[in-house]
Structure formats: structure tokens, C-alpha cells
Structure 1
Amino acid sequence: MKNLFVRFYVGVVAAIALAVVLILAAAARRGGPEDATPAELERDAARKADYYLEVTQGYHWLARESLLAQPPEQWDAVVERWQPHFRYPLSIQRTSEVLVPELPAFARRRIEAGELAAWPQTSSVTGEHVKLYLPLAGSDRVLVQQIDIGPTLEALLELVGLDLVFFLVVLGAAILALTRPLVRHVTRLAEATSAFGAGQLDARASTAAPEPVAHLARTFNAMAERIQRAADEQQATLQAISHELRTPITRLQFALEAAGGALGAEAAARAQLDEMAKDVGEIEALVEELLTYARLQPGAPPVERVAIDLADMVDGVVGELAPLSPDLSIEVDAPDPAVCTGDPKHLRRAVSNLLRNAQRHARARIRVRLAVTESSCTVIVDDDGPGIPPEGRERVFLPFERLDASRNRATGGHGLGLAIVHRVMQAHGGSARAADGDLGGARLILSWPRLAEAPPLR
């Protein structure tokens, strides 16, 4: 708001100032050398000179009488005494010094005739610089005065300064009244855009705004509708396929068990059936992960937020998974208790997926660290495996994303584990990210806000 107001205000003031300067410049040039002949210019100067002589004749009569009352040799001293009382220069000069070649003819004729003369030299919008000549009778001496007719800059500021300040204040109030609603509507549109980008697919911008902001809001809403509809259709299709796959998978499992019982001791056939059962089990696990991933889509109902002992939950997950990799050392560094808030089921799934991922890629060690503060909860899982290159640390949280041969099907998994972790953190208003670990391999970090108040510990 402040930046827009300042830029708008400075722009308008600069435009007004430029317009005033151009108007004054045009006024100063109007009737100037470009628009008039020398004869016309001299006639205009003579007309101005007559006006100046008319308005100053009383002063000059006093000056002439005062000087002529004194001997000529004292005139310079008299003028010197007068000078401190005048804001412009006074001097006594000889007639030959005054009659310079550039002196206009109308002024020259008056001086030679012993008459009061004026020479307007330069002019501007605010005034003119004029030389006044007072020939002193009975001598070849002339009293010369160089005056600026018109208000000074200080006088102008004193005259219009308060009005100018009032004008600027009124102008600022008008600009503020115009820009404040615009800023408010644009801010709301930006908030809706940020919410939509953060996963709230039902976020919409208010169209109760002046054009063109209203048009921009309508365009955004139409785009958001299309994206939400496509996402909903995609999720519905994914869930439908997952549910439809469950029935034939279950039938296959029963058929394989029945076939195994019928074959009895035939070792080769039994081993083949066991491999088939493992494949069916992997398909079932994939379907379950797809369903979990679909349930955690952006815009889904909010997850449950209760108080849980994170340390106790992590110990339970480690106890369940440690037997699957007896050659690995799994260390847990956690405060006791480490009370945080969140959905127990989904957080347990996220921690389990992180630990399973570390088990697939670690060589000898895995370390799990917990940190709980008044405002946040953090889980950090390090392993001593090959690690994740910097360019792939965001991609690992995409569904079905595999970076290289060290993290492919040969190591197990379906490519949905870390994608589910990412969606669990999204549902909790947190984040999941990858980094370099202290053990030389990958480090995966989960962080989410801790609610000040939550239901009792579970």
C-alpha cells in the first residue's frame, strides 16, 4: 500500500510540476523572438518602458529635487548614503557611459533629450529586470537604477506556500482515496492466489472490485474452477481404480493360497506360487498407498489435531521396523516426553515411510532425531547411504519419482512413500525437505507447527 501510494503521489506531483513548468515556459516565450519582428519587439519594450516611467515618476521627481539641491560634486556621496535604503543598485554615471550601442533607440532619444527613460532588459513570468535613467538637468550626469520589478522567490513562497501545502495535502488525500481500494482488492486477489497455490483448491477471489481487477479475479476464478475440477476428477478416478483393484487382488490371494494347499509338497511349484503371492502383496500395498495418497489430496477435510508423545510414537515405529533390517544400527535421539500436536495415524505413517526409505538405502547406520519447541515439531532422519543430489531434493517428494539406480525398484518401494510424507506435512501446514546428512547420506526433515491448545495426550 505504502509503495503504491508513494509512487502514485510522486508521479502525479511530478506531472503537475512539469505541466506548470511547460506552461510558464510557453508563457515566457510567447511573443518572444521566435514570434515577433525586431520592430514589434522594440514597440513592446517601449510600451513597457512608458508604464514603468509612469509608475515611478513621483519617486524620480523626489530624487531629482534632492540631488539638484546639492552641488554636483556631492551627488556621488548623496547616492552612496541612499544605497543602504534600496534593494537595487544606484549609481551616478556620465551620459557617454550610459549611451551604449545596445541601448534601444526609444531610450536613447529620451536620455539625449534630458528626459526620464526606461530600458526593459530581460523578462520572465514573475517579473522583469529594468534599467531606469534620470538625467540631471544642467549636467552630463545620469542617475542609473537597476531594478527587478515583480515578486521575489521568497515573496512568492510566502504568498503561495501555505496554499501549495494545502493543495499537496488535498492531492495526497485524493490519491489515497483512489489507491486504497485498489490495493485492498489486489491484496485479496494475491491472498486467494497464494492460498490456491498452497493447495486450497477451493480458494476463490472476490469479484466485487473495480475493473480491471474484477476481470482479473474472474479470470483467476475460472482457471481455479477448471484446475479443481480436473484434480477432483483425477482423485475420483484414482480412488475408483484403487477400490476396483482390491476385489480381484483379494481373489488372487485366496486362489494362490488354495493352489498352494493343493500342491502340497511340490517344492518348485510351491516356490513359484510364493513368488506370485509376493507380487500380489506388492500390488495390494501399492493400492493401499494410492488410496492414502488420494485421501490426503489438497482440499481434503482437515486432519485430526491432538496432543501426542512424538518420542513414544517414534520408538514404536522403530521397534516395528528394526527387525526388517537387523544389520542396521538405528539410533533415536529424542527428549522424553516430546509432546506435539497432529494426526497420530498420518504422522505415524509419515515417520514409518521415512524410516523404511532410510532402511532401503543405508549401509550401516540410521539416526532419528526429534525436536519440539513451543511453536513447532521436527523429525530428522539421517542415513549413511548414497544420499540425494541437490537437483533431486525436491523431486523425491513427487509420486513415482526415482532419481537413479540407487533408488529404483531393486531397492523396493513403489515411489509413493515420500510423496505421502509430503502430503501429510501439507495437511499439517508443515513441510518436508531433503538435505545432506551428518552420516554422509541423505537427511529428510519433517517440520510442522505445534498448536497451542489441543485435545488430551494420545
Structure 2
Amino acid sequence: MSGRLITESPGQDLAGRRRASRNTLRAQFALVIFLLAFLPNLVLTLTAQSTLPAGALMGWMLLVGVLCGMVGYVLSGALLRPLSRLQTEVEGGELRAHTDDPAEILRLRRAFSDLLARLGTEQTRRNAFMATLVHDLKTPLVAAGHLTHALVHLPLPEAERREVGAQMGAETARLLALVQQMADAHRFEREDVTVQSAPTDLRALIDGVARRLQPQAEWGGLELTVDGSGHAPADAPVLERAVTNLTENALRYARSRVELRVTPSGLVVADDGPGLGGSLAQLAQPFTSQPTTIAGQQYTAGTAGLGLFIARRIAEAHGGGLHYSHQPHELSSQDPASPPPASTLPTVFTLTLPEVTP
């Protein structure tokens, strides 16, 4: 079956432009003003005892109609001048304040200004994120390329060949993890996270996360500990992904120690790092992964923003939330009557869950 290109004839295009010109706010305003001015004159003329000939009377009504139409056209243009000015400024992308604007136009101008500001911020964030993504993808790809070249072209002993193969596997896993986070962020940004809850051993869940990330902790010279116990209805694989994201972020910024803990309110990931460079509401977004300065130290771009966003969405899907605090805890200064802190470490992320039982 062949396709056909449907085009409009010049007559159809002209008719469409005429319909559009009639269906404008100025045309409607002009018609209303014309009717308000012309109909009373028509009623008075018809009801008056006039001795004028019919032709003169029709000429007079025609003149009144033309004058009413002109008045309607001029007044409608004056009424809509602020709106036309706003349209021109929006098309130019630059809004300016005008003291003679009506209150409705001022509110509309503020709404457009806020919208343009949000669009500009979103575009800046996405541009920065794309630059970060290219960097994060390029690094393991270049490393894998060098390793492949060494594996193919260099006469390596068997032990070194196995080590190169292991490094290639690590770089591939890093790429897959980044791609998975991108896919998760894209899905979680556009649709609700669905979970299938079942009784879950929270201590076993964080034990599994700690075992998988222990090599990363040892490579960075960090201590990774696990504490607490409890059960809660949860989707274990999905919840484990959130805890893994939080733990990887903690291992990236911690100075010496990272702690995973089960508490009566949920799961806690704490570290002794400098904390976030902004509020959780700012950073737990899918397109904020960019270089930042935290506690006076420059940190490279990574996938921290993606990880926090995914963890927050997963927590919300379980009926809880993601909370952040950065406050040094001194055990000696704690009031004995107050509840113990979630962690003695300064940077604490709490993934709250309902119905946590011992």
C-alpha cells in the first residue's frame, strides 16, 4: 500500500487563515462592543416615531453600524494591548515589568517568568548531567579498551592475563551499573514504582549489601559495619537496590567508616564523610549528577543524584520516605532519657519503612 502526501490547496489554506482571524480574542471583544453600542441605537430608531424616508433611515443605521464597529475595533485593541505586548516578550524570551499592566496580566507575566526560569534551570541541569554521563561512560570504556589491547597484543603470562580479564570484568560491571541506574531513573521519573511486598528480613538484606560492597570498602581503606535486626513487609530486590545506592554514595564520600543499621523506623546508612552539598530535595533528582563542592572539597561528578533519586522513589513506594541529617553525635552528651540516635556517625540517611518489627 503506497502512502500519500496530503497537502492543502491554496483555497483551503486561505479559508483556514480566515477562520483563524475570525476566531481571535480581539474579534470577539470587537463584536461584543459593537453589539453593545449598535443594538440600543437600533432599538431606539425602530421604536421612535420617525418621519425620515426608509432609505435615509437605512443609511443612518449603516453609518451608526460602521461607527460602532470602528469603536469596537479600537477599544478591543486598547484592552488587549498588554496581552499582545506580553505575547511579543514571551516569543522573544525576555519579560519586562510594566506598571500599566492590569492585575491579571501581571499575574500571567509572573507565571510565564517562573515557567521560563524553571525551563532554564532544567535545561542547565540536563546539560550538566549529559556532560557528566559522557565522562562516566568514557572512563570505563577507555580503560576497557586499553585492557583489551593488552590482552590481545601483549605476551602476558597466564597470571597477568587472568588479572587483566578480571579488571575488564570490573569495568564492564561499572558500565552496566551506570546504565541500570539511568534506566531506573528514567522509569521512576515517569511512572509510579510498583512493589510486591512480602515479609522481609531486613538484617539479611543489609548483610547481603555489605558482602557485595565489601571489596569496594577494602579498596578505599574503609570500615563497613552492619548492626541491628528487624522484619518488615517489603519488596526485597527493589529495597536492596535503594540500600545499595545509598551505601555506594556513602563509600564514595566517607573518610574512614560506613555503617548499615536496622532501626525501629527503617534502614539507616551512615558515614563519617562531609555530608551533602545541598538539601536532599535539591540533590535527590534524576539530573543533578554534577561536580560539587562539599565541606570545601571538590568532588568529581558521578551518579550520586541518580542514586538518591532512586532510593527516595523506592522508599515512597513502600509507604515511607528518605530522610537526611548531618549532625555530629557525641554519646557522652546524650540525655539518658532521650532515645538513642540512629547512628554515632555524622552523615545519616534514613530510609523509613512502616511496620518494622523486631
TM-score by length of 2: 0.45
Bigger CA radius of gyration:
1
When the two structures are superposed, what TM-score results if normalisation uses the length of structure 1?
0.36
